[in-house]
Amino acid sequence: MIDYSLEEGEFLVKLARKTIEEYLKSGKKPKIDEKSVPEKLKKKAGAFVTLDKVGESLREKELRGCIGYIEPIMPLYKTVMEAAISAATQDPRFEPVKLEEMDNIIVEVTILTPPELIKVKSPREYSKHIEIGKHGLIVEYGIYRGLLLPQVPVEYGWSKEEFLSHTCMKAGLLPDCWLSENVKIYRFSGIVFSEEKPRGRVVRRELMSC
């Protein structure tokens, strides 16, 4: 996996915030001078943008939007811009974000590796190929597809089996669907950059399993 520096991560997080705020003000994306974009961020990569609303305590987080692109179909910085707008305005679970909310929202960017199909002889072997804090998961069955980012099981303290079950539910399937041989499970890795507080310093999040 290509690694990214803190400076590159900071560029993407600030770009995501700038894109959202400009779009909420004018309905248009900001114009970006490509000369200002680090070369590595011009390469195609998948990414997700997550928006967390915080209360008086930064520990009180409430998901406000999370959308992204799994496959590397656009230059990374453009992927982040598109994902940022979608997370703020098109996540079907929430009402569109209002501009005044952005003062209380933490912006987070997760850069993804391409998904890798986990091949096993028996579904019960999936847990051997999953590392909490490193891998995100995709569950696929026919028209159903669900994805959870690497930071999710860490935040909730899930076991590998719980992670698999919750990804199944995200796809609209039964929790134990991962035990079916007709279901495909993919894994991917992610590098996470996030504001420490709304409009605050950008840090690289190190995902540690419990």
- pLDDT tens, position by position, 33-84: 999 999 999 999 999 999 999 987 667 789 999 999 998 999 999 999 999 9
Predicted local distance difference test score (pLDDT) of residue 208: 52
In sequence order, which residues have a C-beta less than 8 Å from that of residue 142 and are 6 or more positions away? none
DSSP classification of residue 1 = -
CATH second-level architecture of 6-113+191-205?
Answer: 2-Layer Sandwich (3.30)
Predicted local distance difference test score (pLDDT) of residue 59: 72
Distance, in Å, from the CA atom of 148 to the CA atom of 134, rounded to the nearest integer, reads: 12
Break the chain into its structural domains and give their ranges: 6-113+191-205, 116-188
In sequence order, which residues have a C-beta less than 8 Å from that of residue 183 and are 6 or more positions away? 123, 139, 140, 141, 168, 173, 177
Distance, in Å, from the CA atom of 109 to the CA atom of 81, rounded to the nearest integer, reads: 10
Pairing of strands 61-69, 116-117: unpaired
Phi and psi for 47 in degrees, rounded to 5? -160, 155
Distance, in Å, from the CA atom of 143 to the CA atom of 57, rounded to the nearest integer, reads: 40
Neighbours of 63 (CB within 10 A): 13
Closest CA to 47 of 114, 109, 3, 134: 109
Residue 1 has pLDDT above 80, yes or no: no
Assign domain 116-188 to a CATH class: alpha beta
Residue 210 has pLDDT above 60, yes or no: no
Closest CA to 87 of 129, 53, 131: 53
| Residue that the structure tokens 């009402």 belong to | 95
Distance, in Å, from the CA atom of 72 to the CA atom of 45, rounded to the nearest integer, reads: 4
Distance, in Å, from the CA atom of 191 to the CA atom of 31, rounded to the nearest integer, reads: 26
Distance, in Å, from the CA atom of 196 to the CA atom of 69, rounded to the nearest integer, reads: 24
Residue 17 has pLDDT above 50, yes or no: yes
Predicted local distance difference test score (pLDDT) of residue 14: 98
In sequence order, which residues have a C-beta less than 8 Å from that of residue 141 and are 6 or more positions away? 171, 173, 177, 180, 182, 183, 184
Q: pLDDT averaged over the chain?
A: 94
Question: How confident is the model over 69-128, as pLDDT tens digits?
Answer: 998 999 999 999 999 999 999 999 999 999 999 999 999 999 999 899 999 999 999 999
